[in-house]
Amino acid sequence: MSNYAIEASDLVRRFGDFKAVDGLNLKVPTGSIYGFLGPNGCGKSTTIRMLTGLLQPSEGSVSVLGLEIPRQAEALRLRIGYMTQKFSLYDDLTVKENLEFIGQIYGMGRAELRQRIGEQLDTYGLTRLINQRAGGMSGGQRQRLGLAAATMHKPDLLFLDEPTSAVDPENRREFWEQLFDLSDAGTTILVTTHYMDEAERCHGLAIMEAGVVRADGPPETLMQQMGVSVVEVEAPNLRRLKEKLLPLNEIRSAAQLGIRLRVLVDRSVSEPMGWLRQQFPELEGAELTLARPSLEDVFVTCTGEGRQ
């Protein structure tokens, strides 16, 4: 068996003249949590739909769990779970009824179903809510039920499309603990997100923009390999300073964070702090410090976001 749960080569999807996904190459190691980070409309959902066999690629090849997709999509269906952005369970059914319904779709017998529902209620903290209608649950509870439903049949591979967009940070953290438990047990997870903190938790990451992967690798590697130095500037008139900085070729981005301006300076500038002081005499009394790159810095340097 391949070490990769997902392999895609030169994947393209057109809608009319528009290329939603443009030459995507992807290798997701078995058992890892792999993230797709990118703005709305960059092609994350379209990619997932092609990987699951729901959408036919215009070009390229896809192998998922050793199956050729879309040709063997039917065999794949039983081995994957898919949690979409919108809660796709039934609001009028209770927690138990929703899980029963999903289990029946996967052909579970009564005894198996009873046992598996018990396990899932326990794992996802839903036992107390067993008779609660899904429509009346909080965002965090609904999301736990969504994950319980998506993993009812113990899939080898789980696709999560912006799974935490409707939950608060605490529930998000808890949700990620559950993803790590699944990953430890051998499940491969592909997750799309716009949240940097969420992306940073992934073992591997692809940063997408306009249908193209701009960078990929483990988050720490992406941060180390970024071709910029990060300087934080504490000075008066940060808005004006930002306007003056952005047109310079050496400046990749400048963003205000409270009383500081976070400035990304191209690595071709060997002494970024000295260089900034030289370019801007008004920085004379200002405090400049070198900061550790963050994933957000990686994101703005490899997409067009930094100059907006």
- Number of neighbouring beta carbons within 10 Å of residue 280: 16
Among 38, 140, 155, 204, binds ligand ATP (CB under 6 A): 38
Provide, rounded to whole angstroms, the least separation between the CB of residue 35 and ligand ATP. 13
Element (H, E) at 200: helix 196-200
46 binds ligand ATP (CB under 6 A): yes
Q: Considering beta carbons, is residue 42 or 288 the nearer one to ligand ATP?
A: 42
Q: Which of 41-49, 64-72, 265-273, 276-284 is the region at the interface with ligand ATP (rule: CB under 6 A)? A: 41-49
Q: Considering beta carbons, is residue 194 or 244 the nearer one to ligand ATP?
A: 194
88 binds ligand ATP (CB under 6 A): no
44 binds ligand ATP (CB under 6 A): yes
Residues 6+ apart with CB under 8 A from 142: 87, 89, 134, 166
Among 3, 15, 220, 224, binds ligand ATP (CB under 6 A): 15
Cα separation, 207 vs 215, in Å, equals 5
Q: Considering beta carbons, is residue 40 or 268 the nearer one to ligand ATP?
A: 40
Cα separation, 126 vs 112, in Å, equals 18
Count residues contacting ligand ATP (CB under 6 A)?
10
Q: Which of 27-35, 38-46, 104-112, 291-299 is the region at the interface with ligand ATP (rule: CB under 6 A)? A: 38-46
Q: Which of 37-45, 182-190, 246-254, 261-269 is the region at the interface with ligand ATP (rule: CB under 6 A)? A: 37-45
Cα separation, 5 vs 111, in Å, equals 31
**HSE-up (13 A, CA, CB side) for residue 240:** 6
- Exposure of 40 by Cβ count < 10 A (0-12 exposed, 13-18 middle, 19+ buried)? exposed
Q: Considering beta carbons, is residue 20 or 300 the nearer one to ligand ATP?
A: 20
Residues 6+ apart with CB under 8 A from 243: none
45 binds ligand ATP (CB under 6 A): yes
- Exposure of 247 by Cβ count < 10 A (0-12 exposed, 13-18 middle, 19+ buried)? exposed
Q: Considering beta carbons, is residue 50 or 117 the nearer one to ligand ATP?
A: 50
Site for ligand ATP in 16-35 (CB under 6 A): 20
DSSP E strands in 201-304: the ranges are 204-209, 212-217, 228-234, 251-257, 260-266, 287-291
Residues near ligand ATP, by CB under 6 A? 15, 20, 38, 40-46
